[in-house]
C-alpha cells in the first residue's frame, strides 16, 4: 500500500501492515503502514479520541513539562514516525474511540456497521494510526481529541459504545476493563486483597469488584499515596475498602510493615494499579507465601519483579497485566452500573474534565 506497492498477503494478525522489521507482529514492530484504506480483512475507523494509558501519559507529560501542546506534538511526532502510538519508554499505548468508516468484506464486524461509534479494546501499540491533528488535550484524564484514522485487524477486539453511559466515561472504563475482570477471576470469598493505586480509575473499579468477591469474611486493603484525594475518599466512604493505607508503594519495607499491622497473614491477592515504576517489591512483600500478585500496571518491570521475588525468597504467583479476559468490557461497564457513586465520580472526572484546546496540525509529505 505504501508507495504504490502491491497488496501483500493478508494476515488476521495484521503482519501485512508491518514495515519494519519484517516478520514480526504489529505490537513488536517499530513501524507500521497506517495508510487510511481498509484491506478485505480490516476495518477502517475515523478516530475522535485517543485515551493514552496512564503509565504512558504520565511519562510523556513528565518529559513535556506538563505542557499540553508539547504533549500533543510529542504524540504527533511519535505517530508520524512509527505509524502507531507506541511509547518507547513504557512500551504501552492506550485505545481509541471513533466511528466505523469502512468494513472489509472478509472482516467479521460482529453486528457493527458503517457509522457506528466504537471503542477499540486492543492497544494502540499494535493499531495502525494516522493523525492529521490533535485539537484538545485533557491533562487530567490522559485524553486527546484528534482527527485521524485507525485500522482494526481481524484479531482486534472492539465494542460498540453503550447508550446508557456517557462516551467519556465509557472510554475511561474500557481503557482499564481488564483490571476488574481479572480481579473477578482471581479473588475468592474470604480472601484478603491489597490494591495498590486504589484511588485511580482502574484501582477503584478493582476495589469495587474485589469487595463484591471477598464477601463479608474477606477484606480489601487499599494503598494510596494521599488519603485526601477524592478517589481515596470515595473508596473509603462507599466501603470498597475496609482499610485505606497511605504509603509510597515504592518503599517496599514500609509497605510490608503496613501490611503486617493490617493483615498479619499478608494478602492472598495483591493487585498493582499504579502508574509509576519501582513498585514491584512493594507489591510482592504484601503477598503471603503462595499468594498471587497481579501486575496490571504497565509501569511494571517484570525482570525486577521476577528477580526481586527470587532475591527475597518469596514464593508467589505473578501474573502479567493482560488487558484482555473473556467478557472484560461487559464486566467493567457493569461494575460501574452496579455502583452509582462510582458512576457519578467517573462522570464528574471523565465526562466534564477540564480540556486544553488548541489546533496542532500534522503535516505529511
Same-domain pairing of 337 and 197: yes
Per-residue cell: 73 = 506534538
pLDDT at 358: 59
Q: Both 193 and 321 in a single domain?
A: yes
Determine if the peptide bond prior to 256 is cis (ω within 30°).
no
Q: Are residues 66 and 152 in the same domain?
A: yes
8 A C-beta contact, residue 145 and residue 68: no
What whole-number distance in Å separates Cα of residue 198 and Cα of residue 208? 10
- Would you say the C-alpha torsion 62, 66, 70, 74 has a positive or negative sign? positive
Which is nearest to 123 in space by CA: 57, 47, 26? 26
Clarify whether residues 116 and 186 are in a common domain.
no
Report the pLDDT value the prediction gives residue 357, as an integer from 0 to 100: 59
Q: What is the pLDDT of residue 198?
A: 97
Per the CB < 8 A criterion, the answer to whether 305 and 232 are in contact is no
Pair (141, 7) in one structural domain: yes
Q: What is the pLDDT of residue 362?
A: 47
Give which of 27, 86, 31 is closest to 53, Cα–Cα. Answer: 86
Query: How many angstroms separate the Cα of 276 from the Cα of each of 169, 225, 361?
Result: 23, 11, 31
Give yes or no: residues 126 and 206 share one domain.
Answer: no
pLDDT by residue (tens digit) across 205-220?
A: 999 999 999 999 999 9
Look at residue 351 in the predicted model and tell me its pLDDT.
80
Domain ranges, residue 340? 178-325+333-347
Task: Tell me the C-alpha distance between 159 and 202, whole Å.
Answer: 19
For 225-273, write each residue's pLDDT tens digit. Answer: 999 999 999 999 999 999 999 999 999 999 999 999 999 999 999 999 9
Let me know whether 157 and 182 are in one domain.
Answer: no
pLDDT of amino acid 363: 46
Threshold 0.85, pTM exceeds: no
What CATH code is carried by the domain that includes residue 251? 3.40.50.720
Query: Would 292 be classed as within a structural domain?
Result: yes
Give whole-number Cα distances, 133 to 61, 104, 114, 146, 316, in Å.
18, 26, 23, 6, 46
State the cell numbers at 219: 477484606
pLDDT in tens, the chain (365 residues): 444 456 668 999 999 999 999 999 999 999 999 999 999 999 999 999 999 998 899 999 999 999 999 999 999 999 999 999 999 999 999 999 999 999 999 999 888 999 999 999 999 999 999 999 999 999 988 999 999 999 999 988 898 999 899 888 988 898 899 999 999 999 999 999 999 999 999 999 999 999 999 999 999 999 999 999 999 999 999 999 999 999 999 999 999 999 999 999 999 999 999 988 899 999 999 999 999 999 998 888 889 999 999 999 999 999 988 777 888 989 999 999 999 999 999 999 888 544 555 566 544 43
Cα–Cα distances in Å, from 245 out to 160, 236, 261, 337?
A: 38, 11, 10, 27
Q: Is 244 within a domain?
A: yes
Beta strand pairing call for 317-320 and 287-295: parallel
Q: Tell me whether residue 361 is in a domain.
A: no
Both 131 and 77 in a single domain?
Answer: yes
Residue 115 lies inside a defined structural domain of this protein? yes
Q: Do 339 and 248 share a structural domain? A: yes
pLDDT for position 360: 61
Pairing of strands 94-103, 117-120: antiparallel
Q: Which of 161, 196, 224 is the last residue of a domain?
A: 161
| 47 and 141 housed in the same domain | yes
Count of domains observed in the chain: 2
> Do the beta carbons of residue 59 and residue 87 sit within 8 Å?
yes
Same domain for 201 and 277, yes or no, is yes
Amino acid at each position: 500500500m505504501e508507495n504504490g506497492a502491491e497488496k501483500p498477503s493478508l494476515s488476521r494478525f495484521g503482519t501485512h501492515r508491518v514495515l519494519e522489521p519484517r516478520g514480526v507482529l504489529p505490537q513488536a514492530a517499530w513501524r507500521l503502514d497506517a495508510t487510511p484504506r481498509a484491506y478485505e480483512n480490516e476495518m477502517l475507523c475515523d478516530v475522535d479520541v485517543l485515551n493514552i494509558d496512564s503509565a504512558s501519559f504520565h511519562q510523556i507529560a513528565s518529559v513535556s513539562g506538563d505542557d499540553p501542546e508539547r504533549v500533543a506534538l510529542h504524540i504527533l511526532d511519535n505517530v508520524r514516525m512509527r505509524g502507531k502510538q507506541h511509547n518507547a519508554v513504557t512500551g504501552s499505548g492506550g485505545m481509541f474511540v471513533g466511528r466505523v468508516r469502512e468494513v472489509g468484506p472478509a472482516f467479521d464486524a460482529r453486528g457493527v456497521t458503517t457509522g457506528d461509534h466504537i471503542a477499540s479494546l486492543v492497544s494502540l501499540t499494535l493499531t495502525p494510526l494516522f493523525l492529521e491533528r490533535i485539537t484538545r488535550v485533557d491533562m487530567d484524564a490522559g485524553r486527546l481529541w484528534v482527527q485521524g484514522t485507525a485500522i482494526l485487524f481481524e484479531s482486534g477486539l472492539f465494542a460498540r459504545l453503550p447508550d446508557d453511559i456517557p462516551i467519556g466515561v465509557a472510554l475511561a472504563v474500557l481503557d482499564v476493563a481488564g483490571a476488574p475482570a481479572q480481579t473477578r477471576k482471581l479473588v475468592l470469598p474470604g480472601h484478603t486483597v491489597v490494591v495498590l493505586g486504589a484511588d485511580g480509575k482502574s484501582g477503584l473499579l478493582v476495589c469495587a469488584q474485589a469487595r463484591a468477591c471477598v464477601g463479608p469474611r474477606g477484606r480489601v486493603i487499599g494503598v494510596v499515596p494521599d488519603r485526601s484525594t477524592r478517589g481515596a475518599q470515595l473508596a473509603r466512604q462507599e466501603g470498597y475498602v475496609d482499610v485505606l493505607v497511605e504509603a509510597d508503594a515504592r518503599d517496599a519495607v514500609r509497605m510490608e510493615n503496613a501490611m503486617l499491622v493490617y493483615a498479619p497473614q499478608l494478602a492472598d491477592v495483591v493487585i498493582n494499579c499504579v502508574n509509576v515504576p519501582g513498585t514491584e517489591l512493594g507489591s510482592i512483600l504484601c503477598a503471603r507465601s503462595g499468594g498471587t500478585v497481579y501486575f496490571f500496571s504497565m509501569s511494571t518491570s517484570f525482570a525486577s519483579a521476577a528477580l526481586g521475588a527470587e532475591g527475597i525468597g518469596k514464593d508467589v504467583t505473578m501474573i502479567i497485566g493482560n488487558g484482555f479476559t473473556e467478557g472484560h468490557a461487559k464486566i467493567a461497564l457493569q461494575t460501574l452500573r452496579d455502583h452509582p457513586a462510582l458512576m457519578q465520580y467517573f462522570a464528574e472526572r471523565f465526562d466534564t474534565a477540564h480540556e486544553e484546546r488548541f489546533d496542532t496540525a500534522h503535516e505529511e509529505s
